[in-house]
Amino acid sequence: MSRAVTELDDIEWRVSDTLVPYEDALPFMEDRAASIRAGSARECVWLLEHPPLFTAGTSADPAELFNPSGFPVFEAGRGGRYTYHGPGQRVGYMMLDLDRRGRDVRRLVHSLEGWVISTLAELGVSAHRADGRIGIWVGEGSSEAKIAALGIRIKRWVTLHGFAINVSPDLSHFGGIVPCGISEFGVTSLQALGKEMPVTRVDDVLKRAFPAFIKDLSRKCKVS
């Protein structure tokens, strides 16, 4: 598996340029989180794409899984319900030490949302949070749709999992589930919004916006 590895403020920044099987990614996250907790490894952000698959969070309802294409389904161990991953979707896994960054889960989610929203803004897409609905959204009213999913697990105050931005996935694949348990809104992508670009363009913007995310995550004041 080919990866580019760099350092950013003592955080390892990994980028995979081939599809990563989920069964390889999950143990990597678990092992890295344990090593971070033990003080034997640095924090890490890993950007990748998966083959087509569904993941089930701890609140997943089997009635929300249809899966006509027979994609593999994995228990993720994160919060939330069913999520799709596949080619054309940029997944970001974060293994961050909240003992170092602050044990504030609400701030973590708020900061992560802000990182994704600012990244999309630089890519020409106005996105927003939605009260009562997890994820990042675009549009208004009946045209509102999800463009990015969020899902975090925290183990001994080290984070696992992260986010998934829809760059150019096959949106029909989302029809195999009720995405994140929300049936009344659709799913969209940068491509569907007329923003054609390689995932490497998204990676570049994510990396530029990352220091602001870390600064926001590590600040002492609370989110109001």
Residues labelled as active-site residues: 180
**Cα distance between residue 182 and residue 178, in whole Å:** 6
CB 1 within 8 A of CB 33: no
Q: Residue for token digits 């670009």?
A: 197
CB 86 within 8 A of CB 169: yes
Q: Residue for token digits 């069964």?
A: 23
**Cα distance between residue 33 and residue 168, in whole Å:** 30
**Cα distance between residue 105 and residue 183, in whole Å:** 26
Amino acid sitting at position 140: E
CA atoms within a 13 Å half-sphere pointing along the CA-CB vector of 45: 22
Maximum CA extent, the chain? 49
Radius of gyration from C-alpha coordinates of the chain: 16
**Cα distance between residue 94 and residue 96, in whole Å:** 6
